[in-house]
Amino acid sequence: MTTTSPVFAIENLNFFYGEKRALSNINMDIMLNKVTALIGPSGCGKSTYLRCLNRMNDTISGTRVEGEIRLHGENIYAPETNVVDLRQRVGMVFQTPNPFPQSIFDNVAFGPRVLGLAGGKRALEETIEQSLRKAALWDDVKDDLKQGAMSLSLGQQQRLCIARVIAVQPEVILMDESTSALDPIATGKIEDLIAELKEDYTIVIVTHNMQQAARISDKTGLFWMGELIEFNDTTEIFTRPKEELTEAYITGRMG
């Protein structure tokens, strides 16, 4: 019998903002080509945990990490870790779309150019087209890639940000409340896109929308006051939760 090793193995993770402990003893395996959803009330540690996975919290002074986060067996907090390489492998899409005030073409080309992945002009054009296709945006913008990214709708801007992440050939895509600023139609398009992207990528999402977690994720974890209360297959979490707190949260009695 073959077993699949996790993409991320998180063991005994504690995270501190100064003296304040924001995460307590988190243990979780994140599996290949699955969508993992993190749910829980505001301020419970979901986004902090997500940012631990590509060391975005390093940019905040006074923070520290205990425990281990291994990406394909390698501790990402080891001194020899190349953080630029890590953030290429583990990309992030933020809550509010944040395209650069440049053309659509230059937005998607930015990462490949900076990281030396661009190749020649034709190779770069192919990368941009494939990235926009994977982000379900190509048909919307193919006739004018020189138009400014800020002229796109919010939903299109978020798909552009996804294309920008895809262009640097990541293994994992992190999404922090990436549909919360969007209308229901745009949200639906992103959800459909996530279902397609998991064929090629491992995806971790933070969401306040429990219906969204139930619709699109394979695994769900409930965070509460910095602790991981329960982590299981999404169908189990939403139909047969093991913890009383999980049931209280998903039924709306708490949180």
pLDDT for residue 2 is more than 50: no
pLDDT for residue 207 is more than 70: yes
CATH class belonging to 8-100+170-250: alpha beta
Q: Where are the domains of the chain?
A: 8-100+170-250
pLDDT for residue 117 is more than 90: no
Give ∠ CA 45-50-55 in degrees, rounded to 5: 115
Per-residue confidence band for 251, with pLDDT thresholds at 50, 70 and 90: confident
Interatomic CA distance for residues 157 and 225, integer angstroms: 32
pLDDT for residue 1 is more than 60: no
pLDDT at 120: 85
pLDDT in tens, 51-88: 999 999 998 999 999 999 999 999 999 999 999 999 99
pLDDT at 255: 57
